[in-house]
Structure 1
Amino acid sequence: MQKIYLHASLFFLSILSSFGQVTQQDSTAFKSRKLKTQEINFVSSYYTQDGNNSAVTGGIGTEELTDIATVFDITMARGDARNRLHSYRLEVGFDHYSSASSDLIDPTTISSASARDNRIYPSLSWAMQDDVKGYTIGAGLSVSTEYDYFSKGVNVNFAKFSKDRSREVGLSLGAFLDSWSMIYPIELRTLETPSGPVDNPDAGGTNPRNSYNASVSLAQVINKRLQASAMLDLAYQTGQLATPYQRVYFTDNSVNVEKLPDTRFKIPVGIRLNYFATDRILVKTFYRFYTDDWGITAHTAEVELPYKLTPFLSVSPFYRYYTQSAADYFAPYKEHDRQNEFYTSDYDLSEFVSHLFGLNLRYNSADGILGIKKLNTLELRYDHYNRDTGLVADAIALAITLK
């Protein structure tokens, strides 16, 4: 189920983004017009967490969860008659999770379908780079499906870079059109009436949730040691934003499903600085400010220190600090008033401080690794995460690149 393993998904995204750096392809040197394999990536991770604030049971109870995620992607490229580089990327991801708390949606079963789930998420993207005119343009399609959730995504992007490649301005637009199955906790699937219990009409069918995103970025090479970039994101969501199987308990001991507004507007703003301190040490820093119309404000600060042990081997310790205020609609177990219009006991929407730290090992060789000529990169990453609410998580990932 989509929201149950939110933390695992965030971990996996951070893992993917840490492997390597995005670099511009030199299309002026790409002469072949035949479609050729350019790069193959394989990433696999294992994530585990535990805590005592499960939203499924109203903000109390186990948050024990495990998630195994695997992503495979292949990038192919060709040149055209105008010597522009066209890249095509096919990505297929597969997650399998098990969750003790989600099994309590229906605790009368020995092991319900919600106790574990699989998610499959293929995507296809295209990009064209024109070095003569100094721009890139691209588009992509994606699909994600699991037990109670189906999502379709589309995105387009454009970037313009300066003649000397020291500056780049980017714009991207995206939309996700999602459908939720309305799975209620077992005790809320019927309503009591004078003539006896009847089926709850809200506890069934599907509801939509749509997300629209726009992002503007500016990257600048300031000098031979310092690079900077700034990002502004705008996100708007509408539809079924509450999770239907998450309970909320009230001060009068009654219970209902989570209820949240059907719109949400988010504004994250970030800045990144990379400083080449020496030939061996790179200092990578990032700060992001976030606010939304649900009352949350948040700050993220990150630092990563890649150190080149040899020309082929580097080690990168990293740390991330995060703090956020609570949403206007959050309260812990049995602290909501029944008269409130909106209510949630999901601790993802609570006030908290979190810390993430870990280590990344990267081995890269253009001549091949372990006697395999096309094996270009091996990377191993470990993350440890903890919140002051008691949630603790660990993740380990392996990435392989073939060129």
Structure 2
Amino acid sequence: MRRLNLSVLALYLGILTSHAQAQEKQTTDTSNYQSRKLHLDEVNIVSAYYTQDGNNSAVTGGIGTEKLTDFANTFDVQLSKFNKKGHKHTFLFELGIDHYTSASSDKIDPQSISSASSSDTRIYPSLNWTNTNIKTGNAFGITASYSHEFDYQSFGGGINLTSVSKDKNRQFDFKLQAFLDRWKVILPIELRPPGYGSGSEGDQRALDYRPRNSFSASFGLSQVINSRLQAMLIVEPSYQHGLLATRYQRNYFTDGSERIENLPDNRYKLPVGIRLNYFLADRFIIRTFYRYYMDSWGIRAHTAEIEVPVKLTSFVSLTPFYRYNKQQGTRYFAPFGQHNPADTYYTSDYDLSTLHSSFAGGNIRLSPPKGVLGWQHFNSLELRYGHYMRSTGLNSDIVTLALKFK
């Protein structure tokens, strides 16, 4: 499994795909005729190239290379139709394909030419159906998803509800999701019992499989305060149970001994955030976000983010952004060679340590009225770049390209 700063990659893919979906929510059919045939609304293609480096690999006990590259691609198609009651049925199919290479994961078996996790491809399709009452704005939806990688497979499902006030100034969003995962328990070569498999293709020796199940809810309340200011409160509790430790990550103790990572088999998380959007003028918007995070492992974190979209022309906008995060690490963390042999739980994964980080960059968006490159159906093109810096020494860069066709 890759040691990837997933929050950076998720930020990009989430911002760009959610931006396309948000525009869809604001678009209604104002004509007298509503087709009951299935109609292609839009197609979105998002590609991101991510690279990182550092010297605190959890695979080798908190020291060693964290070099990694990831090429992530998502392709989604949105279709819709109206029923006899005038309700809009929207079908969103998304297919994601990521390919990564990881020097740190290759150290599971340092003597091999290439271990099972030195590179891999992850495939993750999903399907969402949403029924929207166009007159009221209220909606109900169902989502199903699947993900597969060399050491795990995941089945997901969820529901989403939207309720809009009569004056359209207040909206409540609710989501429930569940992910049922099954892990291969891959161990470092020197800590494998006799006859235990490596997890590599072609290795027929037996190895263990363990479950990891995740359940989450999301509550969002957005309010138009006035013509310039909008606010949103977000609460996202979640619970995980099963194999939460990454067994091929090593831990070293003060007595010179070595063990595989061990963490509790359950974890509660509670992020609470608030988002404020201020329309400063016709060409400027100030978007701010703050989140407080806490969990049952003792992690506490504050995240503050700002981005300022600037409309340069009627079809070109530029958005600089900056995010700062400060985290108090889990009680189970200790650096290389500093764990107490009497501890029950232990990790040297610096993602769970005390740290602070910055993420800065910019986004440019083109949406000509006659289409990009004169192609009417090529609705928009976005190019985004960000640089991530962490106090532990980890640095990463990501470039994302998003294309929308309508």
TM class by shorter chain equals over 0.9
Shift of 1:28: 6.1
Q: TM-score, normalised by structure 2?
A: 0.94
1:8-87 map, 5 Å? 9-19=6-16, 20=19, 22-23=22-23, 24=25, 25-26=27-28, 29=31, 31-87=34-90
Does residue 219 of the first structure (1) align with residue 216 of the second (2)? no
Question: How many percent of aligned residue pairs carry the same amino acid?
Answer: 51
Q: Pick from 348, 353, 359: which aligns with 1:350? A: 353
Q: Is the 8 A contact 2:4 2:68 kept in 1?
A: no
The residue that corresponds to 1:228 in the other structure is 231
Q: Which amino acid aligns with 2:359?
A: L
Superposed CA offset, 1:57-76 (max 9, x none): 00000000000001100000
The residue that corresponds to 1:367 in the other structure is 370
Q: Is the 8 A contact 1:42 1:73 kept in 2?
A: yes
Shift of 1:133: 4.2
Q: Is the 8 A contact 2:3 2:66 kept in 1?
A: no
The residue that corresponds to 2:125 in the other structure is 122
Does residue 259 of the first structure (1) align with residue 262 of the second (2)? yes
Q: TM-score, normalised by structure 1?
A: 0.95
Change (3 A) 1:76 1:392: same
Q: Which amino acid aligns with 1:6?
A: L
Change (3 A) 1:339 1:145: same
Residue segments in structure 2 that go unaligned for 5+ positions in a row: 199-205
1:10 partner SS: helix
Q: Pick from 246, 250, 266: which aligns with 1:247? A: 250
The residue that corresponds to 2:380 in the other structure is 377
The residue that corresponds to 1:107 in the other structure is 110
Q: Pick from 1, 4, 7: which aligns with 1:6? A: 4
What is the aligned length? 393
Q: Is the 8 A contact 2:251 2:348 kept in 1?
A: yes
Q: Is the 8 A contact 1:326 1:349 kept in 2?
A: yes
Q: Is the 8 A contact 1:361 1:381 kept in 2?
A: yes
Q: Which amino acid aligns with 1:223?
A: N
Q: Is the 8 A contact 2:3 2:104 kept in 1?
A: no
Distance 2:53 2:334 in 1: 21
Superposed CA offset, 1:101-149 (max 9, x none): 1001011111222110110000000111103344111110000001001
Distance 2:61 2:3 in 1: 17
Q: Which amino acid aligns with 1:209?
A: R
1:104 partner SS: helix
Q: Which amino acid aligns with 1:294?
A: W
Q: Which amino acid aligns with 1:117?
A: D
Q: RMSD over aligned Cα, in angstroms?
A: 1.5
Q: Which amino acid aligns with 2:386?
A: D
The residue that corresponds to 1:195 in the other structure is none
Q: Which amino acid aligns with 1:16?
A: L
The residue that corresponds to 1:194 in the other structure is none
Q: Pick from 158, 161, 180: which aligns with 2:164? A: 161
2:42 partner SS: strand
Q: Is the 8 A contact 1:72 1:93 kept in 2?
A: yes
Q: Is the 8 A contact 1:93 1:120 kept in 2?
A: yes
Q: Is the 8 A contact 1:188 1:200 kept in 2?
A: no
Distance 2:112 2:224 in 1: 59
The residue that corresponds to 1:399 in the other structure is 402
1:294 partner SS: coil
Distance 1:343 1:241 in 2: 12
Q: Which amino acid aligns with 2:13?
A: L
Distance 1:80 1:27 in 2: 14
Q: Is the 8 A contact 1:269 1:288 kept in 2?
A: yes
